[in-house]
Amino acid sequence: MSEPFAAVDVIMTKRDGGRLSEAQIDWVVDAYTRGVVAEEQMSALAMAIALNGMERPEIARWTAAMISTGERLSWDVLNRPTADKHSTGGVGDKVTLPLGPVVAACGAAVPHLSGRGLGHTGGTLDKLESISGWRASLSNADMLRVLQEVGAVVCAAGSGLVPADRRLYALRDVTGTVESIPLIASSIMSKKIAEGTSSLVLDVKVGSGAFMKDVDTARELARTMVELGTDAGVTTVALLTAMDRPLGRTVGNALEVREAVEVLSGGGPSDVVELTVRLAREMLEAAGVRAGPDPVEVLRNGRAMDVWRRMITAQGGDPRAPLPVAAHRDVVVATASGTVTALDALAVGTAAWRLGAGRARKEDAVSFGAGIELHAAPGDTVAAGQQLMTLHADDPVRFARAREALAGAMAFDTEHRVLPLVLEKVSA
């Protein structure tokens, strides 16, 4: 059977700044997924999109075409509304871990499909896999069972969900087209729409440790994704949140799980608690849940912790098992007294990655116990000789390169503008 379009014509349309038709978009996404459009042809089209952009109808159609290459889940049989959250990724961002149980304890169901980390940002699945026995792979039937029994689930996306994105994501990574907002937005939103949630809150990170370094580009991405969700019938809002410094006091897989459990126990760092509560309230509002308890209440009375334990147990994990601990530690101390005015998130994330907490390639293994504990944050006053960080690694050879990444990461007694934790809200 002959194809209705030639790939080169589609490429040339976008190369010359034209608008792709709905039929062109439907065909090229499907044909690429089927292997009819070659890798070098899709590379050329991705570069043309990166250079010339897409209009809102094009991005919406591209997203819909990506979804159409696979299955679309539905949770209509549940007796409560569904809500989910997506973060664009940051250093120390463990909020997904306490957030699902909090929202479930307040009355919404949370079907969260997640991924593993690449580079300096750790993935939620990597963190959860540090819990003994916990498994990321669930069938759709298992997901539904956990949602019905517990109210929240975190697992890996199955191979049937947006297969076009799996191919295109890998292609963008090696062709210099990762930064394209139409391609970022369609990648994220195709998976979240296909996931079947009825409402979605986006946490778009801004700062050195985030994908978006400045507020303007973060806002553009947020607006694009909110429009895509709204056009697809998913109630969608976005928060722009700070990632100029790490979130919380730990960076690394098991270290972050431990901190998340502290939050669920009614403690934990104030910034992690604040962001968890704010995102939970936004999720509940988007889902239309107004009669249930407040997130602060379920953290205080232990109901969120109960959901956490049941969620981990339902996926084969032991919530009471000891978490992995790295074999070696190295302490960074202050060489002089002063007030911490800045802590560069990217430097801390890079150091944690060098310690073994992250991966350079998808097939690499991570060290569950590796990472960094932060003993000081912007605004804290420290004395000479005081501990600033504890580095954790299974191989002590890693400490030297981690310390190289941290050189100059912490500033003292100089003027720095620290971003507010939540900068703004973007809604339809």
Contact 195, 74 (CB under 8 A): no
DSSP 8-state code for residue 43: H
CA dihedral (127, 130, 134, 139) positive or negative:
positive
**Angstrom distance (rounded) from CA 37 to CA 389:** 50
Query: DSSP character for 357?
Result: I
Residue 250 has φ and ψ, to the nearest 5°, of: -135, 145
Concatenating the DSSP letter of every residue in 228-279 gives HHHHTT-EEEEEEEE-SS-SSSEEEHHHHHHHHHHHHTT-S-HHHHHHHHHH
Among the options 61, 116, 120, 172, which is catalytic? 172
Of 93, 126, 165, 244, catalytic: 165
Would residue 86 show up in a list of annotated catalytic residues for this protein?
yes
For the chain, the 3-state helix, strand and coil shares in percent, each to the nearest 5, are 45, 15, 40
* Residue of 14, 61, 191, 205 marked catalytic: 191
Do the beta carbons of residue 52 and residue 13 sit within 8 Å? no
Exposure of 361 by Cβ count < 10 A (0-12 exposed, 13-18 middle, 19+ buried)? exposed
Can you tell me the distance from the alpha carbon of 178 to that of 169, in angstroms, rounded to the nearest whole number? 8
H or E stretch at 372: strand 371-374
**DSSP at 419:** P
- At 401, give phi and psi (nearest 5°): -70, -30
Q: Is 375 a residue of the active site? A: no
Q: What is the CA radius of gyration of the chain?
A: 22
Whether 191 is a known active-site residue: answer yes
Q: Which residues are catalytic?
A: 86, 165, 172, 187, 191
